[in-house]
């Protein structure tokens, strides 16, 4: 009498030699892998594009505010230019993302000095009368951040208008994309020197 597993070797050899359908299985595995790569590339590209649009929106908003209030009797614009907020918001929302971009805060003004690595550092805020709140007459009168020096210590601090824009990002393929790990709110700020 033959053992029950004697025919198993014959069946296994026949199954192992049968190659029908392997190309379809390999194709499905490769296409699935390529689709996952394309989904991630698409979502990351959209995130990068929208991030650039938010930065552009902040720049356009700051320029619009500077253009609308470009008069010495209107500075500080946050106190003396009544149309500043609406003009800045219109500029912020003029990019391709439209009204889905918002201002994360109202435009603000302050005095800033520039370090040797071209970083703006706030040295004073602006009060409503237009006079600086404790602003030094030169940048050398302010303390630079640790390990930095002013690019021109004898220069007076510049008055800057700050605009902050933000956009809520939602990945198209949230369940399958690494873009869902990125911050869902894209925030960008820009500064425009007004004086």
Between 152 and 165, the higher pLDDT residue: 165
DSSP 76: S
Q: What pLDDT, in 10s, does the model give residues 18-76? A: 677 777 888 888 888 898 888 888 888 988 998 999 999 888 888 888 888 777 666 67
d(CA 160, CA 112): 7
Between 35 and 150, the higher pLDDT residue: 35
d(CA 102, CA 118): 27
Inside any domain, residue 13: no
Structure confidence at residue 6 (pLDDT): 64
Structure confidence at residue 129 (pLDDT): 46
Q: In 23-85, which ranges are E strands? A: none
Inside any domain, residue 162: yes
Inside any domain, residue 15: no
Inside any domain, residue 94: yes
Q: What is the mean pLDDT of residues 158-168?
A: 85
- Model confidence, pTM: 0.72
Inside any domain, residue 2: no
The model's confidence at residue 99, banded by pLDDT at 50, 70 and 90, is confident
Structure confidence at residue 195 (pLDDT): 67
% of the chain surpassing 90 pLDDT: 3
- Structural domain total, the chain: 1
Inside any domain, residue 1: no
Q: What pLDDT, in 10s, does the model give residues 103-130? A: 877 777 878 888 888 787 877 776 544 4
* Residue 163 belongs to domain spanning: 21-193
The model's confidence at residue 156, banded by pLDDT at 50, 70 and 90, is confident
């Amino acid at each position: 009498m033959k053992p029950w597993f004697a025919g198993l070797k014959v069946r296994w050899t026949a199954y192992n030699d049968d190659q029908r359908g392997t190309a379809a299985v390999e194709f499905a595995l490769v296409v699935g892998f390529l689709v996952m790569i394309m989904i991630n590339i698409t979502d990351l590209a959209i995130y990068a594009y929208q991030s650039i649009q938010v930065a552009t929106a902040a720049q356009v908003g700051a320029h619009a505010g500077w253009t609308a209030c470009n008069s010495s009797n209107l500075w500080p614009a946050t106190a003396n230019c009544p149309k500043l907020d609406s003009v800045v918001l219109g500029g912020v929302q003029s990019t391709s993302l439209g009204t889905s971009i918002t201002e994360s805060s109202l435009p603000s003004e302050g005095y800033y000095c520039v370090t040797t690595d071209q970083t703006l550092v706030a040295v004073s805020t602006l009060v409503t009368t237009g006079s600086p709140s404790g602003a030094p007459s030169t940048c050398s009168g302010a303390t630079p951040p640790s390990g930095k020096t002013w690019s021109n210590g004898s220069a007076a601090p510049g008055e800057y208008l700050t605009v902050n824009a933000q956009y809520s990002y939602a990945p198209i393929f949230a369940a399958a994309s690494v873009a869902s790990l990125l911050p869902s709110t894209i925030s960008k700020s820009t500064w425009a020197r007004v004086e």
